[in-house]
Amino acid sequence: MEQPLCTAVFFIKYLKTLGFSATNDIFAENVWYFRNALVRANYTNLQKGIHETTEYLEAFLRNLLLNEKNELHNRKLHISGLLNEEKVDIGDTKVDIENEKVDIQDKKVDIESALSEKSSDFSVKTTIHIHRLFEKFGFDEVFGRSVVMELLELKGSGASKLLSNLVKADIIEPVSGYGKGKYKFKK
């Protein structure tokens, strides 16, 4: 959390030179939101149709400078829809589940709802990493640190930290029978 903290300290000092009476209270109470708002203000991924936006940073600053009461929730900063571009159309017809088998393996799973239930404190970058991992492995494939390093272009320590955080958040689980340090997404 050092970079957002340094940014906050610099920002408070700058605001004071402009005559504002800013304190670090709002920064301390919303450190993750502030950090993620800074990321969203500067993050673009044209292949995924994601464009930088300052709306979240503006809400934070309006609370700081204008004493507004905008709700500052991390879940609003999440980039959704990366894996579920196509919605499943279940139509109006009812399926006879007694006599007919339905193939559900070809449809994409909405990982967004699973993520929002388990943790809303992930950074935008971590959320994107989770989406990429899920897109590649789904619920059934097993993966380890070296594959995560290659897929996400992370160093060993970064991949280990990501895997550890995902286990702690109950999003992935260790599996046995595939060698040491293997994981899969929890259903």
**Residue-wise pLDDT tens digits, 106-159:** 444 455 555 555 555 778 888 888 888 988 998 889 999 999 999 999 999 999
CA–CA separation, 59 and 45 (whole Å): 23
Query: SS3 for 179?
Result: coil
CB atoms within 10 A of CB 65: 13
Spans of all domains in the chain: 2-77, 111-185
pLDDT in tens, 15-38: 888 888 888 788 888 888 888 888
Radius of gyration of the chain (CA): 21
Q: Judge: domain 111-185, CATH 1.10.3720.10.
A: no
What token pair was written down for 155? 């160093």
CA–CA separation, 110 and 185 (whole Å): 13
Which residue bears the tokens 């000092």?
13
In this prediction, residue 3 carries a pLDDT of 61
In this prediction the pTM is 0.41
Highest mean pLDDT range out of 12-26, 98-112, 159-173? 159-173
CA–CA separation, 163 and 159 (whole Å): 6
Angle, alpha carbons 132-161-31 (nearest 5°): 90
Asked if the model's pLDDT at residue 2 lies above 70, the reply is no
